[in-house]
């Protein structure tokens, strides 16, 4: 099988070659990108040929064993990136599961399994456990989990009140000398204050602290210490010391420290989960787009319902109007009109007839066909699903960096705390006082401000974006980029409205448009709708014998035969096309419009030029982005003549026409080697490219799949909001750096103070809280500085 020189995808029957360019390509877009690389000053420069250093290579999805199957599951309860390694190890321990790949970014797990060993229905139960719950994509979350997530912060504050109130009323005043110390040792105070403190603290540490304790356990299980481990150690140390002190009758207990640390961390984790969860759900929507049942031809020639998984190469499937074609294949019977715009980006639906190839995932607008399944029994939609999984499963950003930092930071802090305790003991300080110094080191170094520095900044950036009528679905994009050197636009539905409209009519008779509308009124093709709308009623005519042909429709109108459709369809029917109208057809194409001819009684009498209308403000937006030094690129499945108006615009640097959907992702990947890249699109075919780009922006009027794959959705389909997205990104990135700088600086100052014995655990907890408060204030302030 021949593969594309650029993206390694199969070229199929529509391979593209060009004299002077080495190689064979799957589409014109790949050829142009290859030419771009070859024309560079140093074509062997690895930067042009490889993935940018900031991106991770996607996991190779290939499965060589034909007996294995793949399943995608949603996973509830993922707490941090360490969960990925833990769940992968847990899943592969299950008999029959050959491979597992987990994405914390999308809360999904991809399992490669042997259906002879384990049933598909048993997979969720095999993966669930230790606080994780796996389910089919789109299945409702567990009620207990959703309630806890929704009210996590409120529960944290409410549960802390029974602990903090006694400290504020009795314990702190005694420490400050307002009450004599003997006041705390009375039996009544012990019963009213310290017994409830011990009970409530135990419940809070075990209940509210469960996600953090589990995260710490997972980190230890996979030998990757994380921030949760340090938090858990600080909380458990404060709790264990306080419980031991309470049992022996001491009143110097630090239950408040354990509770305060948990509350601060819980708030931070909740904010992170909230801003991340909005990006989850892509695979549920993609799975919904798949046909689960098909009408398969049996041995007797009849068609009956069958499961999609039961179909193989050369099986025959009947597809009716309104149905989605389940597999790539070839039409063997019937004619129809296929809407491939979501998959290929081509704005005009395509007529298909016996012998022509069709792509899985396209929808039949009208007609009925029998499709013979292709050799690999897969569909273009299947490949987009797999491609989108690989792209979105990469995980980058400051939050991941925080967990990487914890791998070194956690052992270091533990060593410092243990060393400080040992040194003070050796210096003659009492055991209790030395332990307090060690505990102070653990508490003061608890990286709460580090943990909330990123999610708080992202939440604030998302709020600022919402004020500008843009919704940030994947807020981590705001930390990944400060600007975009390359902005890539899809054409159909993005720079254009995606709806066909009549541009002009070439005819000798001004009734030609009404004549065409009389026939097209009985069709549901987008071009037909545009003609009917432009005719706006017209002459009252009698229409009989309507017939839907390949790439044309015909009928008898007021006793005369009328045919409307593609020029080649009318010509192949033997109808004459006078030179005047042949010239009009060619002129229409040169202008980038779509010609539709109208014939009567065996001869063409008019040409209707239709176009996909550009958005009103597209030029202003492109000009504004280009003026800031960005390179503007357009990708489209339409041919070159339909994009000439874009080529002629001075702000547009490159137009790649005739691009296949899989190739869009490959082209964006190559463009990223030239600089930070933003992709703007609206269709399902744009989804992998939106996910692959450093920042993907979808329009609200686009498909659900495109919006879920994107990082940002522009409301009201307003392209004018794009410049504001880049400004919000720059501001958010700046705030994240400021917060992380403060968090690291705080630890560099506070830990030495704790080692020197200058702060006790309570003061350490207060300092930790103050550090987190400063991060909150900085994240939420207005302005761009």
What DSSP assignment string belongs to 39-96?
TSS-TT-HHHHS--TTSPPPPP-----TT-EEEEEEEE---STHHHHHHHHHHHTSTT
Closest alpha carbon to 603 in 555, 649, 571: 571
Give every CB contact of residue 124 below 8 A, 6+ residues apart in sequence: 73, 133, 134, 135, 136
Return contacts of 700-705, CB within 8 angstroms, 24+ apart: 701/493, 701/498, 702/493, 702/494, 703/342, 704/285, 705/282, 705/285, 705/286, 705/289, 705/342
Yes or no: say if 79 and 222 are a contact pair by the CB < 8 Å rule. Answer: no
Which one from 339, 490, 638, 686 is the annotated catalytic residue? 490
What CA–CA distance (Å, rounded) separates 685 from 363?
13
What DSSP assignment string belongs to 589-625?
HHTT-EEEEEEETTEEEEEEEEEEEEPTTHHHHHHHH
Reading the block at residue 408, the tokens are 């070194």
What DSSP assignment string belongs to 150-193?
HTHHHHHHHHHHHHHHHIIIIIHHHHTTSS-GGGGGSHHHIIII
What CA–CA distance (Å, rounded) separates 535 from 518?
9
Give every CB contact of residue 182 below 8 A, 6+ residues apart in sequence: none
Q: Would residue 490 show up in a list of annotated catalytic residues for this protein?
A: yes
What CA–CA distance (Å, rounded) separates 161 from 775?
23
The terminus-to-terminus CA distance of the chain in angstroms comes to 55
What CA–CA distance (Å, rounded) separates 26 from 48?
20
Yes or no: say if 479 and 736 are a contact pair by the CB < 8 Å rule. Answer: yes
Helix 227-247 × helix 195-207 angle, to 10°: 160
**Pairing, β 631-635 against β 654-656:** parallel
Tell me the sheet residues that pair with 500: 612
Closest alpha carbon to 681 in 719, 645, 646: 719
The CA angle 41-43-46, to the nearest 5 degrees, is 115
Kind and range of the H or E element at 498? Answer: strand 496-507
What CA–CA distance (Å, rounded) separates 434 from 452?
30
Burial of 783 (0-12, 13-18, 19+ CB in 10 A): exposed
Tell me the sheet residues that pair with 607: 506, 597
What CA–CA distance (Å, rounded) separates 319 from 296?
10
Cβ of 781: how many Cβ atoms within 10 Å? 10
Cβ of 11: how many Cβ atoms within 10 Å? 19
Yes or no: say if 315 and 296 are a contact pair by the CB < 8 Å rule. Answer: yes
Yes or no: say if 675 and 47 are a contact pair by the CB < 8 Å rule. Answer: no
Catalytic residues, by residue number, are: 490
């Amino acid at each position: 099988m021949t593969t594309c020189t650029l993206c390694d995808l199969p070229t199929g029957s529509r391979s593209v070659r060009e004299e002077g360019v080495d190689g064979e390509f799957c589409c014109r877009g790949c050829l142009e990108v290859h030419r771009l690389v070859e024309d560079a000053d140093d074509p062997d420069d690895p930067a042009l040929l490889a993935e940018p250093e900031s991106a991770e290579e996607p996991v190779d999805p290939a499965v060589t064993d034909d007996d294995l199957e793949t399943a995608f599951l949603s996973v509830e309860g993922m707490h941090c990136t360490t969960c990925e390694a833990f769940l992968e190890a847990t899943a592969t321990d299950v008999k029959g599961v050959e491979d597992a790949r987990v994405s914390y970014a999308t809360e999904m797990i991809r399992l490669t399994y042997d259906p002879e060993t384990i049933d598909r229905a048993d997979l969720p139960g095999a993966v669930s456990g230790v606080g994780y719950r796996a389910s089919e994509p789109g299945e409702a979350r567990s009620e207990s989990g959703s309630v806890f997530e929704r009210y996590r912060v409120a529960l944290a504050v409410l549960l802390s009140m029974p602990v903090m109130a006694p400290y504020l009323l009795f314990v702190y005043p005694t420490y400050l000398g307002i009450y004599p110390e003997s006041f705390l040792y009375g039996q009544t105070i012990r019963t009213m204050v310290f017994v409830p403190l011990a009970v409530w603290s135990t419940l809070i540490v075990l209940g509210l602290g469960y996600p953090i304790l589990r995260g710490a356990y997972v980190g230890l299980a996979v030998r990757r210490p994380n921030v949760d481990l340090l938090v858990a150690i600080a909380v458990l140390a404060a709790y264990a010391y306080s419980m031991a002190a309470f049992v022996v009758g001491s009143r110097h207990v630090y239950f408040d420290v354990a509770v305060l640390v948990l509350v601060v961390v819980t708030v931070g984790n909740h904010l992170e989960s909230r801003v991340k969860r909005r990006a989850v759900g892509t695979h549920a929507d993609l799975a919904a787009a798949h046909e689960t049942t098909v009408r398969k031809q049996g041995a007797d020639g009849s068609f009956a319902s069958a499961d999609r998984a039961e179909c193989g190469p050369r099986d025959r499937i009947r597809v009716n109007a309104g149905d989605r074609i389940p597999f790539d294949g070839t039409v063997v019977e019937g004619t129809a009109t296929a809407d491939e715009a979501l998959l290929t980006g081509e704005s005009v639906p395509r007529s298909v007839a016996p012998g022509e190839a069709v792509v899985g995932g396209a929808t039949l607008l009208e007609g009925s066909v029998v499709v013979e399944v292709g050799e690999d029994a897969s569909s273009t939609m299947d490949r987009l699903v797999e491609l989108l999984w690989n792209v979105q499963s990469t995980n980058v950003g400051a939050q991941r960096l925080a967990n990487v930092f914890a791998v070194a930071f956690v052992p270091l802090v533990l060593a410092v705390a243990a060393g400080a305790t040992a040194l003070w003991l050796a210096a003659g300080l009492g055991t209790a006082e030395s332990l307090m110094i060690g505990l102070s080191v653990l508490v003061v170094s608890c990286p709460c401000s580090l943990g909330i520095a990123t999610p708080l900044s992202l939440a604030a950036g998302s709020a600022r974006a919402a004020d500008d009528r843009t919704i940030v679905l994947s807020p981590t994009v705001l930390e990944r980029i400060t600007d975009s050197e390359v902005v890539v636009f899809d054409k159909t539905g993005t720079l254009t409205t995606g709806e066909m409209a009549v541009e002009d009519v070439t005819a000798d008779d001004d009734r030609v448009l009404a004549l065409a509308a009389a026939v097209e009124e009985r069709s549901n093709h987008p071009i037909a709708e545009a003609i009917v709308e432009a005719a706006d009623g017209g002459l009252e005519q009698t229409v009989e014998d309507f017939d839907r042909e390949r790439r044309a429709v015909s009928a008898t109108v007021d006793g005369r035969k009328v045919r409307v459709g593609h020029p080649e369809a009318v010509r192949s029917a033997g109808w004459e096309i006078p030179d005047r109208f042949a010239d009009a057809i060619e002129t229409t194409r040169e202008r980038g419009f779509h010609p539709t001819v109208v014939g009567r009684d065996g001869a063409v009498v008019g040409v209707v030029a239709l176009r996909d209308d550009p958005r009103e403000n597209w030029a202003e937006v492109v000009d504004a982005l280009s003026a800031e030094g960005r390179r503007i690129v357009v990708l489209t499945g339409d041919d070159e003549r339909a994009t000439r108006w874009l080529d002629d615009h001075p702000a547009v640097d490159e137009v790649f026409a005739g691009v296949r959907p899989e190739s869009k992702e490959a082209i964006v990947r190559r463009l990223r080697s030239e600089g930070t890249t933003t992709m703007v699109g609206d269709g399902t075919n744009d989804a992998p490219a939106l996910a692959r780009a450093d920042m993907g922006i979808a329009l609200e009027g686009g498909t659900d799949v495109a919006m879920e794959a994107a990082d940002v959705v522009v409301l009201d389909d307003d392209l004018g909001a794009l410049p504001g997205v880049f400004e919000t990104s720059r501001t958010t990135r700046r705030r994240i750096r400021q917060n992380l700088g403060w968090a690291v600086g705080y630890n560099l100052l506070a830990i030495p103070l704790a080692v020197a014995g200058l702060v006790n655990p309570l003061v350490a907890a207060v300092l930790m809280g103050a550090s987190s408060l400063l991060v909150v204030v900085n994240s939420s302030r207005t302005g761009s500085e």
